[in-house]
Chain A
Amino acid sequence: MSLVNCPDCQRLYKELDEYIDSVKGNTGVLINVLHKAQEIFGYLSEELQQHVSEKLDIPLSQVYGVVTFYNFFSMKPKGKNQIKVCLGTACYVKGADKILERLRDELNVEMNEPTSDGLFSIHAVRCLGACSMAPVVLIGEDDYYGRVSPDEVSKILDKYRRAE
């Protein structure tokens, strides 16, 4: 996604720049800025990293290093609805692997890749801190599903398909 063929980009970059200006000068803000950038753009493309690097006056190598170090940051576009399956021990013991398997079957997609319609992508995450509700699936930022059984998977997905 480059600036030229993205009609929204200018607006999005403006939003990001406003945030950067508000925190610039404080120490150690890179990670917070990347959080914001990913929130706005969905993922951290090379252009975007270049932009952050220039705005914050931090070497691109360092920005790239941070982006690739942390699990939360992604350099690839994700599905509109990111499905995070917790594979922490507590969820694993309660059958999280079977949920993952069912999801991949249903969506016919590799891990971390968006589906062909761009609607979903599946990500394995470590503990989401809701172990009493294991196995846990998180869709987007707020839609937690607890004690999920493999048979509920398609019902859950339908909810998001219908929303389209």
Chain B
Amino acid sequence: MYGLIHTALRDMVIEELGDHTWLEITEVSNVPSDSFLTMRSYDDEVTLALVSAASSVLKLPVADALEAFGLYWMTTFAPKEYGALLDHTGNDPIQFLENLDDLHDRISTAFTDFKPPSFRVAISSQNAATIKYVSNRKGLTPFVLGILKGLGQRFDNGIEITKIEPVACERGEQCDITISLENADG
């Protein structure tokens, strides 16, 4: 994962729980440095070590920690760092999700080690859709759920996750996530 992700995790912990908690998490994780470079690609083990240390220090299940991180990413970190790009990605949750692969494609041209997941949207009714999530990595579905909830907040249109259906796959993780929107207009 790129340093960008680790920086976001650090910012979230420091903003919400203070420097000392971040220090504790890095100590527990045994990660050699608590400073990360946005465009440097780090081994996925660094990310996993940080997430599991955060879970242990905060006494939260890993899934809950990941979901909280997804929510922070979507509502705070990404708008702060890449506000204009998010604006270009969509005006409502569905449009945003439909363009998400395009956004990730463009990021891939700059971050050559970036292995983004794929999101395909199937609209089932005016206020419901199913997102087919496909990732090369295992265990990040809770992070996606946080992102989806954050999207609802971003567009002031509450998103409820009604169903998560895992799809069998040879590697990584896949699932169909059904969502319903509070307002039907997007």
Q: Tell me if chain B binds chain A.
A: no
